[in-house]
């Protein structure tokens, strides 16, 4: 089994460039086993053979492995727009915002929100909820510890200000941000949703969902927002039936809850 796992790691790195061996093994094995049982493969050697010969499965495997990929200030120009268009006016009117990062992965997204609010000079009174279905991702998010490549898009000035260097290739988000973000497990396919939000970020999550599932999710997001609340979606996730699902489009990738 040991040798089989090593063989898979070497071949996957050769085929995809993804260094499986760099991931914590128990979690990776758990994830691999769930992938194998889904596609009906019974061991690492059989999986390796399949990936070597089936380009479609290889792509599916890559998607599966990178499903947690996230980044601080992901699509930075969109976060600039969010700040200028929605956050600045709200904060300058003294609003205390309730924000939800739904599908928060390793925490880069909700921590980005906490950083932006601090840069707007508004640190207290806001609530940032961050949820994900993946316990490993949530553990990482709560710890707030990142490798160099994970903070590569944070400009050096921000990195010095908001992170502490805790190892040769390790950056830990400043403690104050960890206190400002509340992480919890939540399945976006579950029937119950929290409510009363001014802003929901759900970015790069629904791409793996079917169309009816997405529609249902957006309907629920609309119900979870306060009147005029904003939903911020990912760069490939325009909502075509926005009106029907309870939104009006205010700018590409920003939707406002529609008042009936
Ligand atoms: C690609 S990451 C996106 C992270 C972040 N929103 C961003 O844009 O950088 C997708 C995340 O969605 C989470 N996810 C997938 N299905 C989910 C579900 N049913 N409920 C909650 N989170 C889910 C995954 O665990 C993963 O962490």
Q: Which atom of ligand 1 is least distant from the CA of 209?
A: 16
Q: What is the reported pLDDT for 36? A: 93
Longest Cα separation, the chain: 61
Task: Report the DSSP beta bridge partners of residue 130.
Answer: 101, 183
Residue in 132, 159, 180, 198 annotated catalytic: 132
Is residue 112 in contact with ligand 1, taking CB distance under 6 Å? no
For ligand 1, atom 17, name the residue with the nearest CA: 133
174 phi/psi in degrees, rounded to 5: -60, 140
Cα separation, 257 vs 243, in Å, equals 9
Any idea how long the chain is?
260
- Mean pLDDT per 10-residue run, the chain (260 residues)? 87 83 80 89 94 91 81 95 97 96 97 98 94 89 95 94 96 97 93 96 83 92 97 92 96 93
Q: What is the reported pLDDT for 199? A: 98
Q: Which atom of ligand 1 is least distant from the CA of 70?
A: 9
pLDDT in tens, 113-143: 999 999 999 888 999 999 998 888 899 999 9
96 Cα: distance to centroid of ligand 1 (angstroms): 26
Give every CB contact of residue 64 below 8 A, 6+ residues apart in sequence.
31, 35
Cα separation, 21 vs 5, in Å, equals 9
47 Cα: distance to centroid of ligand 1 (angstroms): 25
Is position 179 annotated as part of the catalytic site?
no
Is position 83 annotated as part of the catalytic site?
no
Q: Which atom of ligand 1 is least distant from the CA of 108?
A: 9
Cα separation, 17 vs 72, in Å, equals 22
Burial of 12 from C-beta contacts in 10 A (0-12 / 13-18 / 19+): buried
CATH class (in words) of the domain with range 76-257:
alpha beta
Is residue 141 in contact with ligand 1, taking CB distance under 6 Å? no
Spans of all domains in the chain: 2-65, 76-257
Task: Report the DSSP beta bridge partners of residue 28.
Answer: none
Is residue 109 in contact with ligand 1, taking CB distance under 6 Å? yes
Q: What is the reported pLDDT for 1? A: 66
Is residue 68 in contact with ligand 1, taking CB distance under 6 Å? yes
Kindly report the three-state secondary structure assignment for every residue of the chain.
CHHHHHHHHHHHHHHHCCCHHHCCHHHHHHHHHHHHHHHCCCCHHHHHHHHHHCHHHHHHHHHHHCCCCCCCCCCHHHHHHHHHHHHHHHHHCCCCCEEEEECCCCCHHHHHHHHHHHHCCCCCCCEEEEEECCHHHHHHHHHCEEEHHHHCCCCHHHHHHHEEEEECCEEEECHHHHHHEEEEECCCCCCCCCCCEEEEEECCCHHHCCHHHHHHHHHHHHHHEEEEEEEEECCCCCCCCCCCCCEEEEECCEEEECCC
Q: What is the reported pLDDT for 103? A: 95
Cα separation, 197 vs 114, in Å, equals 16
């Amino acid at each position: 089994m040991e040798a089989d796992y090593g063989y898979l790691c070497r071949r996957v790195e050769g085929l995809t460039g993804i260094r499986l061996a760099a991931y914590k093994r128990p979690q990776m094995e758990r994830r691999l086993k769930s992938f194998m049982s889904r596609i009906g493969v019974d061991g690492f050697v059989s999986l390796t053979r399949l990936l070597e010969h089936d380009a479609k499965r290889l792509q599916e495997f890559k998607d599966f492995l990178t499903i947690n990929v996230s980044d601080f200030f992901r699509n930075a120009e969109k976060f600039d727009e969010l700040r200028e268009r929605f956050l600045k006016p709200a904060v300058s009117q003294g609003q205390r915002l309730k924000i939800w990062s739904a599908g928060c992965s390793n925490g880069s997204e909700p921590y980005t929100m906490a950083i932006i609010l601090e840069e707007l000079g508004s640190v207290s009174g806001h609530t940032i909820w961050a949820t994900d279905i993946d316990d490993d991702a949530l553990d990482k998010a709560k710890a707030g510890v990142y490798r160099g490549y994970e903070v590569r898009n944070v400009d050096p000035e921000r990195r010095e200000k908001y992170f502490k260097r805790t190892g040769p290739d390790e950056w830990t988000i400043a403690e104050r941000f960890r206190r400002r973000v509340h992480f919890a497990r939540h399945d976006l396919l579950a029937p119950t949703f929290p409510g009363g939000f001014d802003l929901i970020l759900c970015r790069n999550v629904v791409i793996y969902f079917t169309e009816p599932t997405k529609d249902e999710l957006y309907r629920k997001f609309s119900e979870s927002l306060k009147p005029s609340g904003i939903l911020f979606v990912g760069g490939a996730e325009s909502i075509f039936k926005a009106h029907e699902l309870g939104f009006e489009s205010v700018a590409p990738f920003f939707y406002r809850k529609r008042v009936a």
